């Protein structure tokens, strides 16, 4: 068989790219081995040579990773669709600003993003880590080896290792298209592009932040391995703490961004859903926090060193676990945002077990040499309470992981051919909340009380009474403010009241410790910000979570009939008909289109008891159509923000004809059109028979009347262009059981010999009326069907035509005529003619034009009288003008088509939710992150031993 | 024995207890017949029957969407979701429902649909095959 010689491919990029993939992989192995030897022989002279080799390996690896990313970015930006990754993530219409998002939309791209951050952090550490360079960089390169295998794309017989992002599309599927040598040219039209749901700025900022967070957990991990490996259990604590704080801050920010994205841009209706994917990124963060706290203890007292090791190692291990869960397809049934399977399961398992082995080995080897303490921690020491707080965080992590791992139990049982068939709890949110609220209570208590204590309980006996007094005051304050809060939000269960109480307790205690308990000192600022933030976050969760309220529910109609969780969450809003729900008057007032987005304007008015509006605002939730405008790709919410609450709304549904062009066509085809004809001004009565319950019939009667013809008609969907022949028929239509008369105007247009129909839909009576060609030919006569008579007269003179008096009133030197566009050198003049008939005077202004020495004339028409005027000649000497006039017989019966039972197209299905106190949640969480970053900056600015 | 060890042990015992309690919440997938028998809120997974009618007319009720699902035992049941019809529902295959059985139909409050993006590719390939 002959090989096909393809044209238009850019194979060189794939070749160079794959070369760098292999090079980066080999370099990471080489560098890891070198650094490994550097650590092993750390007390020998040869160590520095190994370090040099290690650095060489790292730099080659780092450069290769950058090169791979650069090449992928280049082929994506240039849209070389012959590459599978480009074909799947880029499309012709994808804006340039989303190329980055498209890059990390896929698994390969996100692995590369992760590697990128490892390289960046590794490079910083290579310069800054000093004596820790070798063990730390070893860990980085060791991890890079495993991530590198995910994009390796090598085949050994049946075994495939990794998925190469540079693979050619034609190598992934056998399609008939690939028989054509110029197939590349045809790919553009099929390219998928970035999922429209992901086309927003969150997709640009969330993944890089989250992956930096993932990558950052490796730093304390690497220091921990370094400490265990070199059996230097003290010195690693300082740099590990700084990086632990960095990691806590950045990973937390990444998670928070995901939460903000879910809340703000997606239609999940909340910021946290305890989804397994969310949980498995939260857990490493909680463990990191536990590590930071034991690290603080270890630095100040020498206690808790083993725990610090354990928690830092665990944190990164859990990141790998999280990666395995989300990328292996295991979570497919239980999570809304897991990746689909890619055949990387075995590699991910090898990755995770290798990390476990690495940790276990070093813990077994290193732990015995950690100094033991004869004396135990004092009960009233800071370290004691901080340690228990850390254990509580671990406890929380265990619980969350236990439930999030349900799919793993199935998978493991499946390996032994046993089908467990387990699935996540039926009420997942309640399940997690009922346990985690206790965690919140204890963390609230400890993070408040521990602030008053000192390490090693120094001078406790003298401080005791003062501490108790301050704690007492804070408890009282917490109780008081908790009571006040219940006036604002409903907190029914006693567990939640306790949670609120301890949340306030930690806010007040931390404030007290910062300002009044001892003198203000800026080193306390970080701890204050983080812990008070935690308390504020809890209040925000209570307010927005427990008191989240659907505005868009018709509770009156449904309450009592259905259990609460089955109450409908959506309401139907007909255009311009207001709906009163839950204290609001909500009206859908109209829509507008900008690019591919259709905005639906919804007016909200808050109504008091007397029916007066005391507050009003508009929201515009939107629907994003795909590039070809054939279908809705995504709905985006719109939120009104107040200081104390948010009102969130999104479109839950549109009329089927509005959301999908195929559906629209099917519906249009299903209509039963009937043709009628009538004279202008004459009533037409028609009826429609509707079957009710099988046999009984119901006859609906309608009346229609044509009131006029309009040759420059308007219709919301019709935009006039020069050269259009347009016709609108003005009609009055009435459903005879109702009073209302609907004035409508269906339009038909001929544009460059194609016919365009703009029907009129009357939603209230489910009626649709359209015109057809016959309507057009009945009203528009061709010129040769008209017989013109010639007249000539001077200004001021009148003639008589068919009993109508026509007067030449004067010239118009700057004529305006729909078909006339002025050009340089034109000599144009219009004659103003006044036509008197039935005591009414109408005007017509035909135009005479000389362009390029040739005479033209543009006719004028008086539609009501059926008169056509042409201005054919002008006598410059006498000032006489020559006018040709033709009379058209008034049109006969005008045909039009009617469909009864047409589909409504004037509504939206809306979901609207009120979130009280949501800003407390954001404030609290942001404060927590700021606290971690403050801590980090303070530690970095301290001149400590590295 | 140190206080901290005692507390750690208490926490470990506590966590075993809590995990045991928590495991009661872990659900197993039910079938329609089991849902019928128990009358409780359950989870059912099944295949969407695309050839059967789907009904959603927001003008009549914006919170009523019905379709047919075949569970693992092959039982076909009409499902009523008390909510709006999700976008591109027609493209989904595997559906996981939370809800309870009434006399004739399954009343669902939550629904998880397998991400249709997976199928989008297949569609595109089909188009390519023809093109």
**A85 and A177 assigned to the same domain:** yes
How close A10 gets to chain B, by Cα (Å)? 21
pLDDT band at A663 (very low <50, low <70, confident <90, very high): confident
Distance from CA of B8 to the nearest CA of A (A): 8
Of residues A501 and A175, the one with the higher pLDDT is: A501
Torsion angle (degrees, nearest 10) of CA A762, A768, A772, A776:
-10
- H or E element that contains A54: helix A47-77
Measure the CA–CA gap between A116 and A122, rounded to whole angstroms: 10
* 3-class secondary structure, A345: helix
List CB contacts of A216: < 8 A, sequence separation 6 or more. A117, A121, A243, A246, A247, A250, A251
The count of structural domains within chain B is 1
* Closest Cβ opposite residue A570 in set B3, B83, B125: B83
CA distance A143 to A118: 9
Taking CA–CA distances from A632, the nearest residue in chain B reads B87
Q: Are residues A23 and A152 in the same domain?
A: yes
Q: Are residues A866 and A732 in the same domain?
A: no
By residue range, what is the domain housing residue A13?
A: 1-194
Same domain flag for A1 and A93: yes
Question: Which one of B21, B22, B92 makes the best mutation probe of the A interface by having the most chain A beta carbons within 10 Å?
Answer: B22
Contacts of A707 (CB under 8 A, 6+ apart): A680, A681, A730, A731, A732, A743
Task: Give the CATH number, domain containing residue B76.
Answer: 2.40.50.140
Q: Which phi and psi angles does A786 have, rounded to 5°?
A: -100, 145
Q: By mean pLDDT, which of A120-129, A352-361, A731-740 is the weakest?
A: A731-740
What phi-psi label fits residue A772: left (phi over 0), alpha (psi between -120 and 50 degrees) or beta? beta
- Checking if the pLDDT of B124 tops 50, the result is no
**Measured between alpha carbons, how far apart are the two ends of chain A, in Å?**
66
Residue pair A582/A573 in contact (Cβ under 8 Å)? The answer is: no
Instruction: Tell which of A194, A228, A258 closes a domain.
Output: A194
Q: How many CB atoms lie within 10 A of CB A334?
A: 21
Beta bridge partners of B67: B79
| Residue A129's pLDDT band (cuts 50, 70, 90) | very high
**Which range has highest mean pLDDT (A337-341, A629-633, A844-848)?**
A844-848
Test A426 with B83 for CB contact under 8 angstroms: no
Residue A497 has what pLDDT?
95
Mean pLDDT, range A93-120, rounded to an integer: 92
Return the residue in B3, B14, B25, B89 with the most chain A beta carbons within 10 A, the one to mutate for interface testing: B25
- What is the per-residue pLDDT for A458? 86
**Domain containing B42: what range?**
28-130
Distance CA B112, CA A331 (A): 12
Predicted confidence (pLDDT) per residue in B97-120, tens digit: 888 898 889 999 888 876 544 334
Contact across the interface for B58 and A907, Cβ inside 8 Å: yes
Average pLDDT, chain A: 88
A81 assigned to some structural domain: yes
Confidence of residue A568 (pLDDT cuts 50, 70, 90): confident
- H-assigned helices in A589-745: 656-659, 661-670
Q: What is the mean pLDDT of residues A619-627?
A: 87
A368 DSSP assignment: G
Total number of domains constituting chain A: 4
Does A572 sit within 8 Å of B58, measured CB to CB?
Answer: yes
Residues of A in contact with B108 (CB under 8 A): none
C-alpha distance from residue A76 to each of A102, A157, A201, A214, A360 (Å): 8, 30, 19, 25, 42
Preferred mutation among A92, A426, A569 to probe B, highest tally of B CBs within 10 A: A426
Work out the pLDDT band at B123, boundaries 50, 70, 90.
very low
Q: Which residue has the higher pLDDT, A31 or B21?
A: A31
Residue A414 and residue A421: Cα distance in Å, rounded? 9
Q: How confident is the model at residue A720 (pLDDT cuts 50, 70, 90)?
A: confident
pLDDT tens column, A228-271: 999 999 999 999 999 999 999 999 999 999 999 888 877 676 88
The residue of chain B nearest to residue A405, with distances taken between CA atoms, is B26
Tokens, residue A925: 């969480």
pLDDT for residue A914 is more than 80: yes
Q: What is the mean pLDDT of residues A665-679?
A: 82
Residues near A625 by beta carbon (within 8 Å), at least 6 away in sequence: A596, A597, A598, A631, A632, A633
**B interface test, pick of A332, A338, A564, A572 with most B CB neighbours within 10 Å:** A572
**Per-residue pLDDT at A2 exceeds 60:** no
Residue A60: pLDDT above 90? Answer: yes
d(CA A320, CA A355) in angstroms, rounded, equals 8
Mean pLDDT of A128-139: 95
CB pairs under 8 A between A and B: 133
- Please, what is the angle between helix A382-404 and helix A428-449, to 10°? 170
pLDDT score at A561 = 53
Band of the pLDDT at A191, cuts 50, 70, 90? confident
Q: Cβ–Cβ of B15/A406 closer than 8 Å?
A: no
Residues A718 and A812 in one domain: no
Give yes or no: residues A153 and A12 share one domain: yes
| Cβ-Cβ contacts under 8 Å, B87 against chain A | 632, 634-635, 659
pLDDT at A624: 86
Name chain A contacts of B82, Cβ cutoff 8 Å: 562, 566-568
Q: A869: how many CB neighbours lie within 10 A of its CB?
A: 24
pLDDT in tens, A799-825: 888 888 888 888 888 887 777 777 888
Chosen domain end from A891, A910, A931: A891
Q: Residue A911's closest chain B neighbor by CA?
A: B84
Cα–Cα dist B10/B6, whole Å: 6
State how beta strands B65-71 and A907-916 pair.
unpaired
Nearest to B59 among A387, A566, A904 (CB): A904
Q: How confident is the model at residue B79 (pLDDT cuts 50, 70, 90)?
A: very high
Q: Which one is predicted more confidently, A71 or A341? A: A71
Query: Which pLDDT score, from 0 to 100, does residue A12 have?
Result: 94
How far away is chain B from the Cα of A832, in angstroms, using its nearest Cα?
A: 54
Look at A670 and A280; give whichever has higher pLDDT. A280
Structure tokens at A1: 């068989």
**For residues A25 and A202, is the Cβ–Cβ distance under 8 A?**
no
Give the list of residues 6+ apart from residue A222 with CB closer than 8 angstroms, or none.
A125, A132, A135, A136, A137, A138, A139, A140
* pLDDT-above-90 percentage for chain A: 46
The residue written with tokens 């839909």 in the block is A761
Question: Looking at CA atoms only, how far is residue A922 from chain B in angstroms?
Answer: 27
Range A29-46 average pLDDT:
95
Measured CA to CA, the distance from residue A264 to residue A636 in angstroms comes to 9
Buried b (16+ CB within 10 A) or exposed e, A501-530: bbbbbbbbbbbbbbeebeeeeeebbbbbbb
Residue B125: pLDDT above 60? no
- Residue A945 has a pLDDT of 40
3-class DSSP state of A899: strand
> What is the total residue count of chain B?
131
pLDDT score of A696: 67
pLDDT computed for residue A448 by the predictor: 95
pLDDT in tens, B50-76: 888 888 888 888 888 999 999 888 889
Asked if residue A734 and residue A699 are part of one domain, the reply reads: yes
Q: Are residues A831 and A711 in the same domain?
A: no
ipTM attached to this prediction: 0.87
pLDDT recorded at residue A657: 79
Same domain, residue pair A123 and A134: yes
Q: Does the residue B48 lie in any domain?
A: yes
Could you tell me if residue B17 is inside a domain? no
> Across the interface, do A333 and B26 touch by the CB < 8 Å criterion?
no
* The pLDDT value given to residue A354: 97
Q: Is the pLDDT score of A781 beyond 80?
A: no
Each residue of A484-495: pLDDT tens digit? 999 988 888 899
pLDDT at A231: 95
Q: How confident is the model at residue A171 (pLDDT cuts 50, 70, 90)?
A: confident
Does residue A718 lie in a domain region?
A: yes
Residue A868 sits in the same domain as residue A740: no
The minimal CB distance from A425 to the residues B25, B96, B109 is found for B25
Tokens of A879: 């000032």
pLDDT value of position A1: 46
User: Can you tell me the distance from the alpha carbon of A891 to that of A903, in angstroms, rounded to the nearest whole number?
Assistant: 32
- Reply yes or no on whether the pLDDT at A153 is more than 50: yes
> Which of the listed residues A724, A750, A780 is the one where a domain comes to its end?
A780
Sheet containing A673-678, strands listed edge to edge, beginning at the edge strand earlier in sequence: A673-678, A894-900, A767-770, A760-762
Name the least confident of A214-228, A230-244, A545-559.
A545-559
* pLDDT for position B129: 47
Whether B96 is in a domain gets the answer: yes
B83:A571 CB<8 A: no
Contacts 24+ apart (CB under 8 A), A256-259: A256/A925, A256/A926, A256/A929, A257/A202, A257/A205, A257/A206, A257/A209, A257/A210, A258/A206, A258/A210, A259/A925
> Is residue A627 in a domain?
no
Residues A809 and A877 in one domain: yes
Whether the per-residue pLDDT at A562 is higher than 60: the answer is no
* Residues in chain B closer than 8 A to A634 (CB atoms): 87
Residue A332 and residue B127: Cβ atoms within 8 Å?
no
Percent of all residues in chain A with a pLDDT value above 70, rounded to a whole number: 95
CB contact at 8 A, A431 and B48: no
Nearest-Å Rg of the Cα atoms of chain B is: 21
Nearest residue on chain B to A431, alpha-carbon basis:
B25
Task: Extract the runs of DSSP E, i.e. beta strands, from A429-564.
Answer: 549-550
Distance CA A486, CA A643 (A): 18
DSSP secondary structure letter of residue A457:
G
A866 torsion bin: left (phi>0), alpha (psi -120 to 50), beta (else): left
**Rounded Cα–Cα distance for residues A81 and A27 (Å):** 30
Burial grade of B122 (CB within 10 A; 0-12, 13-18, 19 or more): exposed
Q: Is residue A629 part of a domain?
A: no
Q: Is the pLDDT of residue A883 over 80?
A: yes
Three-state secondary structure call for residue B107: strand
Same domain for A776 and A787, yes or no, is: no
Which residues from chain A sit within 8 angstroms of residue B42, using beta carbons? Answer: 426
Q: Which of A652, A654, A910 to mutate to probe the B interface, most B CBs <10 Å?
A: A652
Smallest Cα distance from A525 to chain B, Å: 29
């Amino acid at each position: 068989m002959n090989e096909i010689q393809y044209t238009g491919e850019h194979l060189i990029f794939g070749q160079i790219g794959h070369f760098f993939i292999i090079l980066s992989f080999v370099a990471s192995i080489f560098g890891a081995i070198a650094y490994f030897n550097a650590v092993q022989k750390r007390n020998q002279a040869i160590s520095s040579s190994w370090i040099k080799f290690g650095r060489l390996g790292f730099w080659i690896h780092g450069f290769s990773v950058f090169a791979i990313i650069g090449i992928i970015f280049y082929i994506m930006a240039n849209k070389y669709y012959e590459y599978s990754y480009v074909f799947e993530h880029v499309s012709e219409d994808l804006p340039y600003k989303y190329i980055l998002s498209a890059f990390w939309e896929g698994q390969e791209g996100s692995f590369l993003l992760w590697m990128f951050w490892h390289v960046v952090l590794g490079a910083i550490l290579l310069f800054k880590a000093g004596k820790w360079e070798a063990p730390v960089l070893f860990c980085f390169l060791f991890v890079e080896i495993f991530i590198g295998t995910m994009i390796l794309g090598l085949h050994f017989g049946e075994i495939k290792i990794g998925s190469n992002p540079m693979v050619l599309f034609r190598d992934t599927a056998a399609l008939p298209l690939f028989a054509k040598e110029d197939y590349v040219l045809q790919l553009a039209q099929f390219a998928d592009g970035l999922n429209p749901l992901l086309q927003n700025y969150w997709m640009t900022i969330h993944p890089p932040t989250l992956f930096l967070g993932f990558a950052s957990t490796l730093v304390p991990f690497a220091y921990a391995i370094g400490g265990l490996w070199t059996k230097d259990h003290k010195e690693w604590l300082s740099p590990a703490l700084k990086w632990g704080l960095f990691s806590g801050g950045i990973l937390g920010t990444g998670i928070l961004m995901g939460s903000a994205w879910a809340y703000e841009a997606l239609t999940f209706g909340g910021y946290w859903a305890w989804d397994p994917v969310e949980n498995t990124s939260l857990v490493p963060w909680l463990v990191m926090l536990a590590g930071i706290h034991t690290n603080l203890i270890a630095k100040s007292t020498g206690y808790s060193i083993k725990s610090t090791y354990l928690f830092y190692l665990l944190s990164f291990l859990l990141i790998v676990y999280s990666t395995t869960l989300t990328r292996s397809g295991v979570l497919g049934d239980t999570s809304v945002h897991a990746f689909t399977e890619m055949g990387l399961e075995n590699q991910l398992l090898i990755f995770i077990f290798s990390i476990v082995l690495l940790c276990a080995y070093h813990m077994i080897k290193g732990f015995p040499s950690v100094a033991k303490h004869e004396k135990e921690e004092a009960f009233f020491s800071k370290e004691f309470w901080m340690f228990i707080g850390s254990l509580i965080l671990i406890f929380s992590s265990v619980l969350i992981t236990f439930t999030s791992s349900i799919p793993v139990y199935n998978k493991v049982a499946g390996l032994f051919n046993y089908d467990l068939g387990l699935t996540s709890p039926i009420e997942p949110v309640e399940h997690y909340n009922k346990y985690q609220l206790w965690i919140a209570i204890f963390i609230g208590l400890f993070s408040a009380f521990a602030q008053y204590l000192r390490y090693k309980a120094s001078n406790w006996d003298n401080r005791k009474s003062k501490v108790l007094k301050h704690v007492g005051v804070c408890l009282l304050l917490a109780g008081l403010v908790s009571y006040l809060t219940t006036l604002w939000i409903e907190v029914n269960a006693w567990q939640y009241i306790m949670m609120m109480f301890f949340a306030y307790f930690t806010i007040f205690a931390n404030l007290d410790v910062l300002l009044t308990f001892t003198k203000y000192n800026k080193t306390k600022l970080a701890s204050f910000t983080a812990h008070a933030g935690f308390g504020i976050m809890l209040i925000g969760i209570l307010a927005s979570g427990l008191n989240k309220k659907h505005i868009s529910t018709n509770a009156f109609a449904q309450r009592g009939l259905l259990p609460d969780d089955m109450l409908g969450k959506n309401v139907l809003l007909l255009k311009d008909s207001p709906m009163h729900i839950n204290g609001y008057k909500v009206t859908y007032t109209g829509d507008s289109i900008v690019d591919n987005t259709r905005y639906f304007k919804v007016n909200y008015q808050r109504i008091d008891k007397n029916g007066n509006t005391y507050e009003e605002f508009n929201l515009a939730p939107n629907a994003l159509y795909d590039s070809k405008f054939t279908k809705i790709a995504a709905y985006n919410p719109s939120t009104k923000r107040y200081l104390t609450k948010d009102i969130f709304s999104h479109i839950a549904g549109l009329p089927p004809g509005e959301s999908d062009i195929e559906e629209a066509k099917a519906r249009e085809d299903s209509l039963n059109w009937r043709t009628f004809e009538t004279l202008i001004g004459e009533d037409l009565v028609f009826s429609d028979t509707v079957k009710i319950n099988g046999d009984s019939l119901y006859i609906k009667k309608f009346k229609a009347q044509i009131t006029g013809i309009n040759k420059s008609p308007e219709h919301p969907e019709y935009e006039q262009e020069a050269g259009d022949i347009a016709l609108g028929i003005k009609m009055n239509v009435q459903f005879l059981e109702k009073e209302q008369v609907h004035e409508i105007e269906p339009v038909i247009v001929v544009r460059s010999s194609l016919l365009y129909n703009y029907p009129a839909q009357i939603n209230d009576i489910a009626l649709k009326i359209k015109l057809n060609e016959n309507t057009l030919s009945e009203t528009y006569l061709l010129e040769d069907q008209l017989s013109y008579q010639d007249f000539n007269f001077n200004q001021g003179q009148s003639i008589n035509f068919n009993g109508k008096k026509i007067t030449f009133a004067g010239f118009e030197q700057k004529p305006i005529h729909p078909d006339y566009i002025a050009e340089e050198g034109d000599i144009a003049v219009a004659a103003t003619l006044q036509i008197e008939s039935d005591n009414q005077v109408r005007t017509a202004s035909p135009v005479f034009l000389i362009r390029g020495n040739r005479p033209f004339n543009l006719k004028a028409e008086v539609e009501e009288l059926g008169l056509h005027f042409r201005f054919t000649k002008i006598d410059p000497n006498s000032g006489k003008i020559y006018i040709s006039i033709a009379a058209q017989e008034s049109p006969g019966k005008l045909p039009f088509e009617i469909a009864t039972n047409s589909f409504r197209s004037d509504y939206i299905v809306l979901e609207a939710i009120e979130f009280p106190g949501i800003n407390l949640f954001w404030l609290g969480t942001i404060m927590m992150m700021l606290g971690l970053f403050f801590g980090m900056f303070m530690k970095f600015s301290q001149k400590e031993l590295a | 024995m140190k206080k901290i060890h005692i507390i750690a042990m208490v926490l470990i015992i506590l966590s075993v207890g809590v995990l045991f309690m928590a495991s009661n919440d872990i659900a197993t997938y039910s079938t329609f017949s089991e849902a019928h028998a128990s009358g409780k809120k359950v989870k059912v997974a099944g295949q969407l029957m695309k050839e059967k009618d789907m009904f959603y007319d927001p003008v009549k009720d914006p919170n009523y969407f019905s379709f047919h699902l075949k569970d693992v035992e092959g039982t076909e049941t009409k499902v009523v979701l008390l909510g709006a019809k999700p976008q591109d529902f027609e493209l989904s295959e595997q559906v996981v429902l939370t809800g309870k059985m009434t006399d004739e139909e399954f009343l669902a409050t939550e629904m998880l649909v397998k991400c249709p993006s997976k199928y989008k590719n297949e569609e595109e390939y089909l188009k390519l095959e023809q093109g």
